[in-house]
Each structure stands twice: as C-alpha cells, then as structure tokens.
Chain A
Amino acid sequence: MKKGHIIAMIIIAVGIIALFNAFGDMTRYSTFKESEANPNQSVKVVGVLAKGKPVVYNPEEDPNLFSFHMQDEDGAERKVVMNAAKPTDFNKSEKIVLTGKMVGENFVASDMLLKCPSKYKDEEIFVRSEI
C-alpha cells in the first residue's frame, strides 16, 4: 500500500469515528416521567400548553424568568421554567418542543421551539364590513 492511500484511509477512518461520535450526541425525545428518572440527562420533550394553568412572566420582577405548564405526549403535566424572556408568539403556539432537564419538581428548559399554526391552514379571512 502506498503512503498516500494510508493517509487517505486515516482521514476516512477519523471521519467515520467522528460520524459515530456525532450520532452519539443526538438526544432522544423523551417524556417528563423518563426525564425524572434520569435527572442529569438533557432531553427533548414535545407537548402542548396546559390549559387553565398560569403562564407567568413578570418582567417588572424578573425579565429572565418565564414559566408555564406543559402537558407532554403521555399526558403528564409539569411546570416548565426558562431563563429567558417570553417569546412574543407564545400564545399562538400549537405545539412546544422543549430541551432541558428535570430539576426537582420543575422542568428547566434551556431551549424552546414553538410550532405555530400554519399560514395556509385555518386562514383567517379579514372581513372588511366588520372593521
């Protein structure tokens, strides 16, 4: 085998190892219950905003604290705490994807993605006569 081949092979091998390694970085979709069992692992939880529970954001007191209750896909409900400002379109969200972990009773989210209703579905019609 030529030296060139060996170098190329090494590069490819390193690449493959990196790929496997990177796949290991992927998190899992989880539930609140599972996350409670593994409190140190960062997971993603998908759910919807729990109706009738307080959505708290009082920037006068603390502009970096936002909390609400979310119901995950198994129906379990937990309080979610975030150290961020409340996203402007939060109330419109249909579905919430959280990244974070359970700390005590609360799910502390480091990231949140909101799925908002599509512009194409349920289109509002602006009726002139009513304005």
Chain B
Amino acid sequence: MEGIEYLNEHLWVGKLGHLFVITNFVAALFAIISYYFAEKTENSEEASTWKKMGRTAFLAHGISVFSIIGLIFYLMVNKYYEYAYAFNHVSDDLSMSYILSAFWEGQEGSFLLWMFWHVVLGIVILSKNRGKWENGVMMFLSLIQMVLASFLLGMYIGETKIGINPFILLRDTMNIPLFAQADYLTKITGSGLNPLLQNYWMTIHPPTLFLGFASVTIPFCYAAAALWIKEYKDWLKPILPWALFSGTILGTGILMGGAWAYEALSFGGYWAWDPVENMSLVPWIILMAGVHMNVVAKATGHSIKSTFIFYLLSFILVFYSTFLTRSGVLGDTSVHAFTELGLEWHLVLGLLLFIGISVYLFLKNNKDIPVPEKEESLYSKEFWMFIGSLVFLISVMLISMTTSIPVYNKIVDGFSWMMGADYSNLHRAAPGDAIAHHNKYQMWVALFIGILSGMTQFMRYKEKNFENWKKKFWTHSAIASGLSVLLTIGTAQIVNMFAWQYYVLIFGCWYAVVSNLDYIISTVRTNLKMVGSAFAHMGFGIMIIGSVVTGLNQHHISTNTFAQKGIIEGFSEEDYSRNILLIKNKPMYMKGYEVTYESDTITGLYRTFTVNYKKRDMMNNGKVVEEFNLYPNIIYEKTFQKVAASNPSTKHYISKDIFTHVASLPRAETDPEYAKSQEDSLGYKNYSVIVGDTFQTANYEGKVLELNMNPSHVDYIPMEGDFPIGVKMQLKDKKKNVSYDIEPVAVIRGAKILRFPEYLPESGLKAKLTTEIFDEAFAREDQIDYKEFTIEKGESFKYGNTEISFNGFGVNPSHPSYKAEAEDKAFNAILDFTYEGEKYTGKPIYFIRKGIPYNIKDEIKELGFHFKIGNVNAQAQNITVLVSKTPPRVEKITVQIAEDVPSSQYIVLEAIVFPGINLFWLGSILMLLGIFVAMWRRIFS
C-alpha cells in the first residue's frame, strides 16, 4: 500500500521504540566486550576504565529494556491499534486491570518480562561490591541479555528475518484491502486479551515464574565466571543464597501455575505432566540438586564438579524449555504451547551457544577443578546427598525424554533428510496417559528422596568415625521407621491405597516427615536458623503424601448411572459417567448429594450458574444436613457465539475439595446458527385471536387477556427509544388442568423488531409474537385521514353527523401508551360526543417532555374514532384537534405457539472430589518456606 497517507497514526512511538530495540542489543554487546577486557587487561587502571564502561553499557541496556516496556504500555493504554502488539492484545473493552496480563500474553512481552528481571537482578549485583566476580558474572549476564535482545530485533539480514519487532505496524503484518483506506484506524478495534487469561492468576503467575527463570541465570553466570577466571571454590559461598532465592521463586511460580490450573481452569487437577509444566519443573529439580551439591562442596570440598554441572545445566534447561514452548515444536502435545513465530532456528542457535559455552568451559577446566584425594565415606552425609542428586538427575532425564519426543521426531526427520531415506517408522508419540506414565517412574524418585532426606539429617559431613556415631544414627532411624510404619498403616485406614507400591511410597514420605521433625526437636531446637532444610524436607514428604492421596482417591461424584443410561461398546460403567445432566430447577441425585441447577446470570462475558448442593440424612426423614451453592461459570468470546472457557467453582473442606465445572451447554446456547435452525424446526402454529377470546391448541385452551404497553420479560432489558408490546395470555393444560400465565413480548428498537418468546420448561411450550404484531395492535396512521378543527374550551364542532364538544382539559392524564415521567407537563382534552344513542369521551394526550411536545392519540376502537391533539395555542386559548372515523377495528392478534419443545435449559456438570488436597498445598508451601528460610539465614547471618 505504497503512497497512502494514513490518518491518525502515531508513528513516532514505533520509531523511538525501534531505536531502543537496537540500543538494547548494541549496549548488551558493548557490556560483554567491556567486561571481557576489564577481566583480561593486566593494567589495573585500564581494567577499571573497562569495568566502568561495562557498567555504563549494562545500565544503558537496562534503560533500553525499561523504555521498550514503557513504550509498549503506552501503545496499549492509548489503544494505538496501528501497532500489531496493541491490536493483538488489548481491545476497547479491556479493563485496565488486565493491562499487565495483556502485556505478557504475547511472545515479545514475555521475552521482555524475562529481560526485565535479568536487568533488575543485574542491578542488584552491581549495587554491592562483588569483588572479582563482577566482570565474569556481568559478562555472561550481558551475553544472555544480548541473545534475548536479538529475538526482538525484527531485522532482515539478506532473506532471513532475525527476531520479531514488538513495534511492528499492523498494516505491515498483513496485506488486506482494509489498508487501502487512509482512515482504516477508524474501522478497527483491538482483538483483545484471550478471555481465558482474564483473571488475577494471569497477573501474578507469569511475573513470578519469569523471575524464577531469570534468577536461575545467576548461578549459571557465577559458575561460568568461576570457570572462566579459574576460581573454583570462592564462588560456592556467595552463590548459595542466590540459588536458594531462585529455588524459592521458581518453586512458587510453578506452584502458582498448579493453583491456577486447579482453581480457575477446568483442567481438573493441579498437575497434568503437560510438557510446558514439565519444562518449568525440570530446571527447578536440577537447581535443587545443584543447591545440595553446593552445600556439600562448601562443607567438604567434594562435589564441586557436580555443583558446576547442575548450575550450568539448570539455565540450559530453562533455555531449552523456552525453545520447546516458543518454537511451536510442542504443538501436537501440549495444550498451552505458544504459537510459532518463526523463531525455531534462532532458538536452536541460542541453545547451542549456551550448551557450547558450558561444555567448553567445563572441559577446559575439568582437570583443574579440585577433587579431594580421600573418597567420601559410605556413612557420610555428602555421599548420600550425592546419591540424592543422581536420583534428581535421573528424574529429570525421564521427564525430559518424554517431553522431548517431538524434538526426537524432528531429529529423525533431519536424519532421514541427510541420508535421503525415510525413517519415519522411528517416529514416536508421547504416551496416551501422560499422568500414569510419569507417575510410574517419578513415584520411585519421590520414595528415594523421601528416605534420603530423612536419613541424611542424622549423618555427618566428612564422617571419620561412624563407630561412635552409629548408635545415635540407628536409634533415630529405628524410631523414625517404626513411627512411619504406624503412620502408613493409619493412612491406609483412611484412604484407599490400591497397591503395595503406594504403601512403600507413603512409608518413604512419612519417614521424611518424621525424621525431619525428630531432627527439629532433637537437634535444631537450640538454633532455629537451622530449621530451613528440615522444613523443606518435611514439606516435600507432606506434599507427596497429599498428591498420592488426591491422585488415588479423587473421584467423580457427577454420576447417576441409573438415571442416565446409554450403552457404548467397550465402556465400563465406571469410566462412563463423569458428567451429569442437570435440567433447570429439577433436582438430581448424584453420589450422596442432591444437586439443582437453580439459575444463571450474565455479567459481561461471564455467565455464572448457581448450582445448589444438598446432603440429606435419609435416616432422619431426609432432613437437610448440609447445603451450599457453587458458582461455576463460563466465559463467552466477544461475539457471544462461542464459549471461550469454563471456570470451575470449588467447595473447600479441610480434608477434601468438591470441584465442579460446567462441561457442556445446550448447543443452542453457544451456536446462534444452530439455535436458529432449531427454532425453525420447532413447528410453530399460528393462532389468530381477538383480544378477550379463547383458542384451542393440541394440549391447551388459551385466552388472550390484554395487550400491555409496559411489558416485562426476563430477557428484555429496556432501552431508551424502545417501543414494546406484550400480549398477556392464559394457557390451561387440558389434561393436567393447570393454568399458566405467560406474556411474550415484541419490541421495536430502531429499525429492528426484537421478539422475546415465553418458554415453559415444565410443559415444553413456547409462545411468541409475530413481527406483524404492531400492525395488528395499532391502526396504521398513514392510512387514516384526519380532519382538523381549531376550537376553544366549551365550543363544539361537527364531524360528519356527530357533534363533539370540547369540555376542557384533564390533568394527570392516563393512557395505556403513556408512561408519565416526573418532569412532564401533560394534559388531555376531554371530547364528549354521542354516537347512536351512547355517550363516549375521547381523551387524546398532549405533553411536553424536556422541551419537546408529544401527542398520544386516543382511539375508540369499537366505533373506529381516532382523536389527536395537533397543536396547542396558549395565547389564543385554543387547540387544534384531529379527528377521523374509520370502520370499527377488531383487535385481532396472531400468536405463535409450539408444543413439545425439547428442554434447552440445562447444563452438563462435572464434579470431582479431591481428598487430601490441602496436604499437597500445605506440603508445597512448607517446602518453599524451608528453602526461603535457608536463603534468609545465608544472607543475614
């Protein structure tokens, strides 16, 4: 679209933004170079100049990151839809409270969030004198930032596009005729934030998780710097609090993701072993392995190499996770992978760069990294902690392998291409039941970790004389084992354990809990600062117990196999009934509860259902012993034509949760086209009835009572300028001898006629008006010939043979079509006349509302007389009256009635009981708190 002068675009933002995108990249490059020379220059004066330059460059980089973020917010807050990022992530109706969520919904925003935290952490590093570590750490941090900055460049080198520019204009992203119009901006509005993400979890989860990811970088940078400057031991102390910080935050971020999935999304659980979840867990596990090796290395000098490997690997896994989730390679296997933006190879290159650097630095220094000559004793703490880290590593390998199946398939494809052969028979797919697959292996990992974390608390570092210590170790271990056996038996009394493997696992977890509690009581007592690791390991045990109890004993209660039959080959009754159909206001029994779908309300895009649960005591005349309401909701897409998400509602108890969500709605509720075709197929019959008369349908005797100009209807929300009409009817069921009062409504709004049918779900009857109702109810004004008379009060005039006298004005007039308002100045004219011996009065109304005069005609239907006030002349004290006589009009209206309409007021509900879920949350929180306490101690004491 060359040569078009577009109107109202704000191009300066993009230009400025692009400038910052480039300085962002260049400043990071500058920082790398400066810090490199700051380290390598012998001359101390020159070195300090380089260092200053490095700091300045990093700060310039940081300012660029903040500026880019600021400008993007500026675009989004002001809704500059000429920019693709604003167009894709905000909309006119998006509440400002979701502006943060909208920012990191997109790839570019989440890269920036990640970089933002790196800058913040970098500033924290620079805020204190880090001695010999600053150069190396900041160089590697700048390198990572440069790689991330390259994803935002959006530049072409030859034919290849490098990165995606967050400031790209919408009209540059697609080629459609709209952009041939200079004023296209007046015709578009943003597509907005995915309704699924419009909740507070989306506001707090991503920043926490990304701070977690960003903080993993610091141990990586320290490890790389230590190898680079060949200082293998001194970094072990300063890095430990950083690694513990990272463990706390990343752990919290992952846990928040689980809580989000459980509380607000209808995934039906907190952990599904989804690839995206797995890839955030894996770096955390490796980081925690690193922390354990770090503690060992600091205390004994053993496992320094392992510390290096785990810390380096942990960041590589974060980057690998970025690659998996952002390259689109996971597409077939994950529900929440990002879509492709053509970053695949770019990400692969970044990943290879970091792997290359790590491998090179490690191998180059491998021989020089100190290893104590004396091997660790079999009875020493460090030996079993090392074994624990190996278990962690195996756990991670197992999780990563399954998660990486799509990558494996790509590698097979690449191999096929190189060899010119077809190896696609080597392709594999992830197991159908991912949860069962991972649990099968990870439960043994959990068992090992549980036992090791209990056992090692009573071992000592650098054990030289286990003989002296033996008694204490075995006493504590025996007590812990005995108690754990009892607790395991106790647990089995309360929950179903199904198989011996679970007994063993639960034993291992209780062992961790009991030994660590014992450790707190017997050892830590005097020194509360030491409590961190004991808390963390107890928390781990409780968390796993919680997940086993929940995992094994969660069950659907939304089942009623007697009431809902249907036979499918191959399905057992058990896996059959997960969902239950609830017809509005009809109680249904499901496993111990009487549930009723009572009502639903729409607020914005949300439709919230009220589902009532009652528990009755059958021994006691069915007295209600417990009653509560749950409010699951669904979110419609903006067009109200599709359901974007179904949000659960959960009843929390101490020992369990009842989790419930709407699994499905009548198709007519979500698909207007279908609703219309359904409506057309209902078989409406027309009944033309004079008001006051009765009519007969197949099952009913009906009577039209009256026409109502002020009708109300559940679905009708009055708007200014509406012209509504309702037809009050009574329908008597001939068989059951019950009567129903109904009032279908039609409304003229602008050029449209809206119709609101009445529906009786209990009898399957639906009634509506035709679009002709207004012509039927009112005489067509354009077909009436009025005669005009100007008269004073007390005078009379002749219309044809009828003498009509104007006998004054009436105040506070009333008329079916007139709805009085407070400020109105209204009156009617009293026009008396005699027709065929009978006396009649016509009362047309005239009123002034907000300075504008209106009139309302009066019609004497049985005669066909029409009266209107045309004009009021206050000075001459006369009025103009319009009179007409038509043949008498019969109020005959048409109603449409369909009988035997299938019910469409129902929801399909899924309800699951999660027993013991609070143990899982309690354990996880305790574990993270333990890590936090450990960090706190190392920073402040």
A76 at the interface (CB under 8 A from B): no
Min CB gap A90→B, angstroms:
10
Contact yes or no, A11 B578, CB < 8 A: no
Knowing A59-B908, A85-B664, the reply to whether A115 touches B569 (Cβ < 8 A) is: no
Contact yes or no, B339 A42, CB < 8 A: no
Closest chain A residue to B582, Cβ basis: A63
Give bound CA distance, A63 to B906, whole Å.
11
Give bound CA distance, A110 to B753, whole Å.
47
Knowing A88-B642, A123-B174, the reply to whether A19 touches B581 (Cβ < 8 A) is: no
Contact yes or no, A4 B378, CB < 8 A: yes
* Prevailing SS type, chain A contact patch: mixed
Contact with B along A59-73 (1 / 0, CB 8 A): 111111100000000
Give bound CA distance, A4 to B377, whole Å.
8
Give bound CA distance, A123 to B173, whole Å.
10
By a CB distance below 8 angstroms, the chain B residues around A4 are: 375-376, 378, 383
B152 at the interface (CB under 8 A from A): no
By a CB distance below 8 angstroms, the chain A residues around B332 are: 46, 97, 113, 115
By a CB distance below 8 angstroms, the chain B residues around A118 are: 339-340
Partner of B390, one of A8, A23, A104: A8
Min CB gap A94→B, angstroms:
11
By a CB distance below 8 angstroms, the chain A residues around B664 are: 57, 59, 63, 85-86, 88
Min CB gap B590→A, angstroms:
12
Give bound CA distance, A43 to B634, whole Å.
33
Contact yes or no, A26 B568, CB < 8 A: no
B386 at the interface (CB under 8 A from A): yes
By a CB distance below 8 angstroms, the chain B residues around A84 are: 578-579, 663
Flag the segment in B154-162, B251-259, B281-289, B397-405 that touches A: B397-405
| Chain B: interface size category | 35 or more
Contact yes or no, B908 A23, CB < 8 A: no
Min CB gap A51→B, angstroms:
16
A31 at the interface (CB under 8 A from B): no
B771 at the interface (CB under 8 A from A): no
B178 at the interface (CB under 8 A from A): yes
Give bound CA distance, A92 to B577, whole Å.
26
Contact yes or no, B428 A26, CB < 8 A: yes
A37 at the interface (CB under 8 A from B): no
Give B390-447 interface residues, CB cut-off 8 Å to A.
Answer: 390-391, 393-394, 397-398, 401-402, 405, 427-433, 437, 440-441, 444
Closest chain B residue to A6, Cβ basis: B378
B188 at the interface (CB under 8 A from A): yes
Contact yes or no, B568 A83, CB < 8 A: yes
B643 at the interface (CB under 8 A from A): yes
Contact yes or no, B430 A27, CB < 8 A: yes
Contact yes or no, B335 A113, CB < 8 A: yes
A53 at the interface (CB under 8 A from B): no
By a CB distance below 8 angstroms, the chain B residues around A86 are: 664
By a CB distance below 8 angstroms, the chain B residues around A65 are: 566, 568
B655 at the interface (CB under 8 A from A): no
Partner of A11, one of B390, B398, B427, B666: B390
By a CB distance below 8 angstroms, the chain B residues around A59 are: 579, 581, 664, 666, 906, 908
Contact with A along B630-648 (1 / 0, CB 8 A): 0000100010001111100
Knowing A120-B341, A124-B191, the reply to whether A25 touches B570 (Cβ < 8 A) is: no
Contact yes or no, B570 A108, CB < 8 A: yes
Give bound CA distance, A24 to B663, whole Å.
34
Give bound CA distance, A3 to B646, whole Å.
56
Knowing A19-B398, A63-B663, A128-B189, the reply to whether A83 touches B428 (Cβ < 8 A) is: no
Contact with A along B141-178 (1 / 0, CB 8 A): 00000000000000000000000000000000010101
Give bound CA distance, A100 to B570, whole Å.
12
Contact yes or no, A28 B428, CB < 8 A: yes
Closest chain B residue to A115, Cβ basis: B331
Give bound CA distance, A123 to B333, whole Å.
24
Contact yes or no, A81 B568, CB < 8 A: yes
Contact yes or no, B432 A61, CB < 8 A: no
Contact yes or no, A28 B427, CB < 8 A: yes
Give A104-130 interface residues, CB cut-off 8 Å to B.
Answer: 104, 106, 108, 110-111, 113, 115, 118-121, 123-129
Contact yes or no, A63 B178, CB < 8 A: no
Partner of A26, one of B187, B431, B642: B431
Min CB gap B448→A, angstroms:
9
By a CB distance below 8 angstroms, the chain A residues around B581 are: 59-60, 63
Contact yes or no, B642 A89, CB < 8 A: yes
By a CB distance below 8 angstroms, the chain B residues around A92 are: 642
Contact yes or no, B405 A26, CB < 8 A: yes
Give bound CA distance, A99 to B383, whole Å.
44
Min CB gap A6→B, angstroms:
10
Knowing A57-B667, A65-B568, A88-B670, the reply to whether A83 touches B575 (Cβ < 8 A) is: yes
Give bound CA distance, A102 to B188, whole Å.
48
Give bound CA distance, A124 to B581, whole Å.
35
Partner of A85, one of B340, B387, B437, B663: B663
Give B174-192 interface residues, CB cut-off 8 Å to A.
Answer: 174, 176, 178, 186-189, 191
A–B Cβ pairs within 8 angstroms, 27 of them: A8-B387, A12-B394, A14-B394, A15-B390, A15-B394, A19-B398, A23-B428, A26-B431, A27-B430, A27-B431, A28-B427, A28-B428, A46-B332, A59-B581, A59-B906, A59-B908, A63-B564, A64-B576, A86-B664, A88-B634, A88-B644, A88-B646, A91-B671, A104-B569, A118-B340, A119-B191, A125-B176
6 additional contacts (CB under 8 A) given A46-B332, A60-B906: A4-B376, A29-B427, A57-B667, A62-B565, A126-B188, A126-B638
> Using a CB–CB distance below 8 Å, which chain A residues touch chain B?
2-4, 7-8, 11-12, 14-15, 18-19, 22-23, 25-29, 42-44, 46, 57, 59-65, 81, 83-86, 88-89, 91-92, 97, 99-100, 103-104, 106, 108, 110-111, 113, 115, 118-121, 123-129
> Using a CB–CB distance below 8 Å, which chain B residues touch chain A?
88, 174, 176, 178, 186-189, 191, 194, 331-333, 335, 339-341, 375-376, 378, 383, 386-387, 390-391, 393-394, 397-398, 401-402, 405, 427-433, 437, 440-441, 444, 564-566, 568-571, 575-581, 634, 638, 642-646, 663-664, 666-667, 670-671, 902-903, 906, 908, 910
